[in-house]
Amino acid sequence: MNSKIDDVDELFSWRDEYCVNVEEIDSAHQKLFTIVRRLLKNLCQGDYEKNRLTCIEAVKYLKQYTIQHFAQEEELQLKIGYGGYETHKRIHDSMREITIPALEKQMVETNYSEKSVEHFAGVCAAWLTAHIMLEDQAIVGKVRSQWETGINGDALSVLRSHAENFVRRLFQLEIVAENLNYDAYDIGETLHYYTIYKGSKNDIYRAVLLLDRNLVCESIGKLIGKKLTALNEMAMSMMEELSQTFVVNFIEKYTNDNVMLLSDGIVDKEAFRGDFKKLHPDISILWNTKFGHIAFCIKTVKAGGYISS
């Protein structure tokens, strides 16, 4: 593991602001923090055997946690009449039924490689802190949920299936959903391709595709019949054109709107994260393939609403 994390206790310790002031919920959160912190320590120390055993323990606990703890949270939400129950439950279902199985499968298939364990640890740490700070605290009125989009689960399922079929047809890649509420955490060496479209009623659609560089090389190489190890101008142009086709296809399915491209371009990770935080997307999905990750985020800004360029 690289040395970005020097003092894991300092970096990933429990803080008072994580408390939602419901004893059973705070206790469950603290236990999960302890497990993830131990996993990060093992990574820093380069201890493969401890990593493997800790990952097995962590997955086992997460499976139990996402059944029992999520049920506790959902029971509390129903009891107090929390308006964001349906959205919060959908986030829980995604973590339990999609994210955990996908991460476990990746680790098992790679024999708990350092890369797969680092990814598992990063997802757990990012999901835990973000979910507590931005979703669980919304239950008790400390903050407002970031996922208040009005998109129901059935609509999201249709859009996700449509996007996956598109990628399979176009790139001939097997693609598996890993997170239906991707929260901008680091997924490696990625290109961040932004597009901004205008609809027929002047609505603005801001979309970004995150593509693993290895995945782009593999996909473009397969299309042109030549192995690529680096992205030249031609490959980048192909990537941009194919990405626009994907985005337009998705928007038309999502809104039944005809759109026109206003602007596009590649941005770095920090610019992407800053924009994500400032103008949180309506939909943000992360997929995995054997060549790396794909993420897609989209935000609709209604005519007359705020938009940054």
**Per-residue pLDDT, 167:** 82
Residue 35's H or E segment, with its range, is: helix 23-45
**Per-residue pLDDT, 5:** 45
C-alpha to C-alpha distance for 239 and 190, rounded to whole angstroms: 13
More confident: 149 or 105? 105
> Is the model's pLDDT at 308 over the cut of 70?
no
Mean per-residue pLDDT, 292-296: 93
As beta bridge partners, residue 177 has 287
**Cα radius of gyration rounded to whole Å, the chain:** 20
**Per-residue pLDDT, 178:** 92
Reading phi first (left if > 0) and then psi (alpha if -120 to 50, else beta), residue 138 is in alpha
C-alpha to C-alpha distance for 80 and 73, rounded to whole angstroms: 11
**Per-residue pLDDT, 127:** 76
Q: In this structure, what DSSP letter does residue 99 have?
A: I
Upper half-sphere CA count for residue 96 (Cβ side, 13 Å): 15
More confident: 308 or 152? 152
Mean pLDDT is lowest, of 125-139, 253-267, 294-308, for: 125-139
Q: How confident is the model at residue 250 (pLDDT cuts 50, 70, 90)?
A: confident
Q: How confident is the model at residue 192 (pLDDT cuts 50, 70, 90)?
A: very high
Which tens digits make up the pLDDT trace of 10-23? 657 787 878 888 88
C-alpha to C-alpha distance for 149 and 159, rounded to whole angstroms: 15
Q: How confident is the model at residue 144 (pLDDT cuts 50, 70, 90)?
A: low
Question: What percentage of the chain exceeds 70 in pLDDT?
Answer: 89
Give the CA distances from residue 187 to residues 8, 28, 82, 167, 293, in Å, rounded to whole numbers and listed in that order: 20, 27, 33, 19, 7
Which tens digits make up the pLDDT trace of 262-290? 999 999 999 999 999 888 898 999 999 98
Instruction: List the 283-289 sheet strands across, edge first.
Output: 176-179, 283-289, 292-301, 204-212, 190-199, 259-267
Give the CA distances from residue 183 to residues 26, 141, 178, 275, in Å, rounded to whole numbers and listed in that order: 22, 21, 12, 12
User: In Å, how far from its chain's centre is CA 226?
Assistant: 31
C-beta neighbour count of 225 within 10 angstroms = 6
Question: What percentage of the chain exceeds 90 in pLDDT?
Answer: 20
C-beta neighbour count of 166 within 10 angstroms = 16
Mean per-residue pLDDT, 15-36: 83
Q: What is the reported pTM?
A: 0.67
C-alpha to C-alpha distance for 283 and 30, rounded to whole angstroms: 29
Which tens digits make up the pLDDT trace of 106-122? 899 988 888 888 888 87
C-beta neighbour count of 214 within 10 angstroms = 18
Q: How confident is the model at residue 181 (pLDDT cuts 50, 70, 90)?
A: confident
| C-alpha dihedral (152, 154, 156, 157), degrees to nearest 10 | 160
Mean per-residue pLDDT, 224-230: 79
Q: In this structure, what DSSP letter does residue 19 have?
A: -
Kindly state the tokens that stand for 179. 């997170």
Which tens digits make up the pLDDT trace of 60-70? 888 888 888 88
User: What is 197-263 written as a DSSP string?
Assistant: EEETTS-EEEEEEEEEHHHHHHHHHHHHTS--SS--HHHHHHHHHHHHHHHHHHHHHHH---EEEEE
Mean per-residue pLDDT, 55-78: 85
Mean pLDDT computed over every residue of the chain: 82
Mean per-residue pLDDT, 139-155: 62
> Is the model's pLDDT at 241 over the cut of 70?
yes
More confident: 285 or 142? 285
> Is the model's pLDDT at 2 over the cut of 50?
no
Q: How confident is the model at residue 182 (pLDDT cuts 50, 70, 90)?
A: very high
| Burial letters 22-51, b for 16+ CB under 10 A, else e | beebbebbeebbebbbbbbbbbbeeeeeeb
